[in-house]
C-alpha cells in the first residue's frame, strides 16, 4: 500500500486560524451527531422493556434490542457508499451537511415513538426503520468528516486533524453518557421507564438540527475545489476504481477499523452495561466511570493523532495496541476483587482506546483525492458493519462461556492492531510520502 498524494498545500505551512475554525466546527458537529447515534445504547435496557413483549425472556429481549442497535451498523455501508460517491463527484461539504440532517430527524422521531403496549409489533419495526436511517447517515458522516478535515490542513498535520475530529466523535459519546447519568440521577427508575427515557432522544434531535446550521459556516475543501478546477474528478464510478486499484489499502483500513470497533463498542459502549450486570455496580456509578473513561479517550485520540504525525502510525499502533491490551485485561480481570479500582482503571482503559485516533490518518493517506471519500467510506463502513455490528452479540455469547469474554475479545484485537502497526512501520521505513 503506497502512501498517496494528499494535497497541493505547502508541507511546511503551520495550522492557521481558518484551520482551527474548520476543526472546531467539524468536531462540534460530529460530537452532536455521534451523540444522536449512540444515545440508543445507553437506554438499551429501558428500550428492551418498552418495545418488546413483556413475556419475552430477558436474554432474548436483550439480543433483540442489540439487534436493532446492530442494524444501524449494518446500514452504514450502503449509506456510506452512496454519500461517498456523490461526495467524490459533487463535493465534500454537501454530503457532510446532508448526513447530519439524516441523523437529526430519526433521533427526534425516536423520542416520539409509541411503545409496544400502545401499537404492538409496529413499535419495534418503526424503531428498526429509524435506526437504519441513522446508520446510513453515520455511514456518510464519519468518513466524510475525516476526509473533510484532512483536506483542509497541510500534509504534516493530517494525523492531528483526524485525531481531533475523532475526539469530537468520542465527545459525542461522552455527551450521551452524561445525559444518561443525568436522567438516571434526576428521575427514578419508574419515571425513566414511563417517560424520561424520551428526553435524550428529543434533545438529540434538536442538537442535530443545530449542527446542520453550524455547518453552513464551513467551506468546501481546497483539494476538492482544485480537482473541480482542473477537471480531475473521477472519470468513472469512484468505488469501481477503489475496488480495482486499491485492494491493499482496503484490507489495511478494514483491519484497523476492526480494532477500532473493539475499543469503542466493547470498552466504551458495552462496558457500562457489563459493569452493572457482571460486576454489580449501580447504574449511576457505572455511567460516571464511563464518562471519565470517555474524557480520557477524547484526549487520547488527539494525542495519538499528533504522535502519528511525528513518529508515524506504525509506532503508534505498536505501542498503543500493547497498552490497550494490557490495560483492558487488567480492568476486566481485577474489578471483581477490587471494585474500588473502577475509576482509575476505566480512565486508563479509555486513554488506551485513544490509539484509534491514528486510524483515520492511515486511511486518508491510503487513497488518492479523486476516490478518497469512496475508498475510506467503503473500507470503514463495511468493516464496521461486519465487526462493529456483530460485536455486541459475539461478546454476549462469549460471556456465556467465560466471564472474561470481553477481555479476550479486546486483547485479540489489540494484538491485531500491533501486527498492522508492525507492517505499517516496515512500509514507513521504505517509502517517503509524496505530495501533489
Q: Has residue 56 got a pLDDT over 50? A: yes
Cell of 40: 440508543
Which one has a higher pLDDT value, 146 or 76? 146
Mean pLDDT over 103-124 rounds to: 90
**Both ends of the chain: CA-CA distance in Å?**
18
The per-residue pLDDT for range 264-280, each reduced to its tens digit, is: 989 998 898 899 888 98
pLDDT of residue 1: 55
* Domain extent listing, the chain: 17-430
- Rounded CA-CA distance 43/60 in Å is 17
- Rounded CA-CA distance 219/93 in Å is 7
Q: Three-state SS across the chain?
A: CCCCCCCCCCCCCCCCHHHHHHHHHHHHHHHHHHHHHHHHHHCHHHHHHHCCCCCCCHHHHHHHHHHHHHHHHHCHHHHHHHHHHHHHHCCHHHHHHHHHHHHHHHHHHHCCCCCHHHHCCHHHHHHHHHHHHHHHHHHHHHHHHHHHHHCCCCHHHHHHHHHHHHHHHHHHHHHHHHHHHHHHHHCCHHHHHHHHCHHHHHHHHHHHHHHHHHHHHCCCCHHHHHHHHCCCCCCCCHHHHHHHHCHHHHHHHHHHHHHHHHHHHHHHHHHHHHHHHCCCCCHHHHHHHHHHHHHHHHHHHHHHHHHHHHHCHHHHHHHHHHHHHHHHHHHHHHCCCCHHHHHHHHHHHHHHHHHHHHHHHHHHHHCCHHHHHHHHHHHHHHHHHHHHHHHHHHHHHHHHHCCCHHHHHHHHHHHHHHHHHHHHHHHHHHCCCCCC
Give me the CATH topology for the region 17-430.
Growth Hormone; Chain: A; (1.20.1250)
pLDDT of residue 211: 78
Q: How remote is the C-alpha of 89 from its chain's centroid?
A: 25
pLDDT of residue 9: 39
Mean pLDDT over 365-384 rounds to: 87
Q: Has residue 229 got a pLDDT over 60? A: no
Confidence class for position 224, pLDDT limits 50, 70, 90: low
Mean pLDDT over 3-30 rounds to: 64
Q: Has residue 90 got a pLDDT over 70? A: no
The mean-pLDDT minimum among 9-13, 174-178, 183-187, 394-398 falls in: 9-13
What is the chain's length? Answer: 436
pLDDT of residue 2: 47
Cell of 232: 480531475
Mean pLDDT over 201-226 rounds to: 76
pLDDT of residue 328: 95
- Rounded CA-CA distance 170/293 in Å is 10
- Rounded CA-CA distance 238/299 in Å is 34
- Rounded CA-CA distance 406/396 in Å is 8
Mean pLDDT over 306-311 rounds to: 93
Q: Are 180 and 197 in contact (CB under 8 A)?
A: no
Residues 6+ apart with CB under 8 A from 186: 196
Q: What are the C-alpha distances in Å from 311 to residues 120, 146, 155, 342?
A: 56, 20, 14, 32
Confidence class for position 225, pLDDT limits 50, 70, 90: low
The mean-pLDDT minimum among 90-94, 373-377, 421-425 falls in: 90-94
The mean-pLDDT minimum among 199-208, 294-303, 366-375 falls in: 366-375
CA atoms within 13 A on the CB side of 23: 21
Confidence class for position 43, pLDDT limits 50, 70, 90: confident
Give the highest mean pLDDT range of 22-26, 220-224, 363-367: 363-367
- pTM for this entry: 0.81
Q: Has residue 432 got a pLDDT over 60? A: no
Which one has a higher pLDDT value, 229 or 13? 13
pLDDT of residue 283: 79
pLDDT of residue 131: 87
- Rounded CA-CA distance 31/25 in Å is 10
Q: How many CB atoms lie within 10 A of CB 322?
A: 17
Which one has a higher pLDDT value, 380 or 215? 380
pLDDT of residue 203: 93
Q: Are 322 and 315 in contact (CB under 8 A)?
A: no
Which one has a higher pLDDT value, 207 or 229? 207
pLDDT of residue 142: 81
Cell of 331: 480492568
Rounded percentage of the chain residues whose pLDDT exceeds 90: 35
Mean pLDDT over 105-121 rounds to: 90
pLDDT of residue 10: 40
Cell of 385: 458493519
Amino acid at each position: 500500500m503506497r502512501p498517496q498524494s494528499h494535497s497541493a498545500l505547502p508541507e511546511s505551512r503551520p495550522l492557521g486560524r481558518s484551520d482551527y475554525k474548520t476543526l472546531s466546527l467539524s468536531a462540534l458537529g460530529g460530537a452532536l451527531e455521534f451523540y444522536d447515534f449512540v444515545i440508543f445504547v445507553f437506554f438499551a435496557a429501558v428500550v428492551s422493556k418498552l418495545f418488546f413483549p413483556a413475556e419475552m425472556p430477558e436474554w432474548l429481549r436483550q439480543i433483540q434490542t442489540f439487534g436493532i442497535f446492530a442494524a444501524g451498523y449494518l446500514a452504514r455501508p450502503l449509506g456510506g457508499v452512496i454519500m461517498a460517491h456523490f461526495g467524490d463527484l459533487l463535493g465534500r461539504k454537501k454530503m457532510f451537511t446532508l448526513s447530519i440532517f439524516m441523523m437529526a430527524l430519526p433521533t427526534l422521531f425516536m423520542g416520539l415513538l409509541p411503545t409496544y403496549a400502545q401499537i404492538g409489533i409496529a413499535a419495534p419495526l418503526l424503531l428498526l426503520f429509524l435506526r437504519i436511517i441513522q446508520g446510513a447517515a453515520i455511514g456518510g458522516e464519519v468518513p466524510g468528516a475525516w476526509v473533510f478535515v484532512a483536506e483542509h490542513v497541510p500534509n504534516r498535520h493530517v494525523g492531528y486533524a483526524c485525531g481531533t475530529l475523532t475526539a469530537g466523535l468520542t465527545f459525542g459519546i461522552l455527551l450521551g453518557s452524561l445525559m444518561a447519568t443525568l436522567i438516571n440521577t434526576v428521575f427514578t427508575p419508574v419515571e425513566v421507564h414511563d417517560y424520561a427515557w424520551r428526553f435524550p432522544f428529543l434533545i438529540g434531535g434538536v442538537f442535530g438540527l443545530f449542527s446542520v446550521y453550524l455547518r453552513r459556516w464551513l467551506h468546501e475543501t481546497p483539494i476538492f475545489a482544485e480537482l473541480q478546477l482542473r477537471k480531475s474528478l473521477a472519470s468513472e464510478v469512484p468505488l469501481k476504481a477503489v475496488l480495482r486499484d486499491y485492494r491493499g489499502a482496503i484490507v489495511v483500513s478494514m483491519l484497523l477499523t476492526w480494532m477500532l470497533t473493539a475499543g469503542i463498542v466493547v470498552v466504551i459502549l458495552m462496558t457500562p452495561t457489563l459493569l452493572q450486570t457482571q460486576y454489580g455496580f449501580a447504574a449511576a456509578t457505572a455511567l460516571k466511570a464511563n464518562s471519565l473513561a470517555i474524557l480520557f479517550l477524547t484526549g487520547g485520540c488527539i494525542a495519538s493523532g499528533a504522535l502519528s504525525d511525528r513518529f508515524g502510525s506504525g509506532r503508534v499502533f505498536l505501542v498503543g495496541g500493547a497498552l490497550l491490551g494490557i490495560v483492558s485485561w487488567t480492568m476486566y480481570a481485577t474489578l471483581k476483587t477490587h471494585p474500588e479500582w473502577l475509576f482509575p482503571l476505566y480512565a486508563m482503559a479509555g486513554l488506551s482506546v485513544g490509539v484509534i485516533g491514528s486510524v483515520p490518518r492511515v486511511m486518508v493517506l491510503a487513497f488518492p483525492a479523486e476516490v478518497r471519500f469512496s475508498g475510506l467510506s467503503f473500507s470503514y463502513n463495511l468493516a464496521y458493519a461486519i465487526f462493529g455490528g456483530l460485536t455486541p452479540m459475539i461478546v454476549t455469547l462469549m460471556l456465556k462461556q467465560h466471564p472474561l469474554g470481553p477481555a479476550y475479545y479486546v486483547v485479540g484485537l489489540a494484538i491485531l492492531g500491533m501486527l498492522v502497526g508492525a507492517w505499517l512501520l516496515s512500509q514507513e521505513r521504505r517509502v517517503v510520502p509524496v505530495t501533489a
